[in-house]
Structure 1
Amino acid sequence: MLGLPRGEVFLVPWFAEWVKEFDMEKKRIVEVIGQYIVNVHHIGSTAVNGLSAKPIIDIAIEINHFLDGEQCVTALQGLGYSYRGINVLPERHYFSKGEPRTHQIHMYQTGNRYLLEQINFRDYLRSNELARSEYQQLKLNLANVNKNDKHKYAEGKTEFVKSILDKGSL
Structure 2
Amino acid sequence: MLGLPRGEVFLVPWSMEWKNEYEKEKRQIIADIGPYTINVHHIGSTAVKGLSAKPIIDIAIEIEHFIDGEKCVIALEGLGYSYKGTDVLPERHYFNKGEPRTHQIHMYQRHNKYLLEQLNFRDYLRNNEQARSEYQQLKLKLSSLHGNDKHKYAHEKTDFIKSILEKI
Q: Aligned letter for 2:109?
A: Q
CA distance in 1, matches of 2:69, 2:11: 30
**Which residue is equivalent to 2:108?**
108
CA distance in 2, matches of 1:33, 1:63: 10
Structure 1 length as normaliser, TM-score?
A: 0.98
Q: Aligned letter for 2:104?
A: Q
1:26 aligns with 2:26: yes
In structure 1, runs of 5+ residues without a counterpart are none
- Give the match's secondary structure for 1:59: strand
CA distance in 1, matches of 2:75, 2:21: 19
**Which residue is equivalent to 1:6?**
6
CA distance in 1, matches of 2:13, 2:46: 9
Q: Deviations over 1:16-38 (max 9, x none)?
A: 11101000000000000000000
Give me the identity figure in percent. Answer: 74
Q: Matched residue pairs, number?
A: 168
CA distance in 2, matches of 1:85, 1:148: 24
**Which residue is equivalent to 1:87?**
87
Q: Aligned letter for 1:24?
A: K
| Residue 91 of structure 1: how far off its partner (Å) | 0.1
- Give the match's secondary structure for 1:35: helix
Q: Deviations over 1:26-56 (max 9, x none)?
A: 0000000000000000000000000000000
**Which residue is equivalent to 1:150?**
150
Query: Superposition RMSD on alpha carbons, in Å?
Result: 0.3
**Which residue is equivalent to 1:60?**
60
CA distance in 1, matches of 2:41, 2:53: 17
- Give the match's secondary structure for 1:166: helix
Q: Aligned letter for 1:16?
A: M
Q: Aligned letter for 1:37?
A: T
CA distance in 2, matches of 1:30, 1:12: 28
CA distance in 1, matches of 2:102, 2:2: 5
| Residue 106 of structure 1: how far off its partner (Å) | 0.1
**Which residue is equivalent to 2:39?**
39
Q: Aligned letter for 1:47?
A: A
Q: Deviations over 1:117-166 (max 9, x none)?
A: 00000000000000000000000000000010000000010000000001
In structure 2, runs of 5+ residues without a counterpart are none
CA distance in 2, matches of 1:147, 1:122: 23
1:17 aligns with 2:2: no
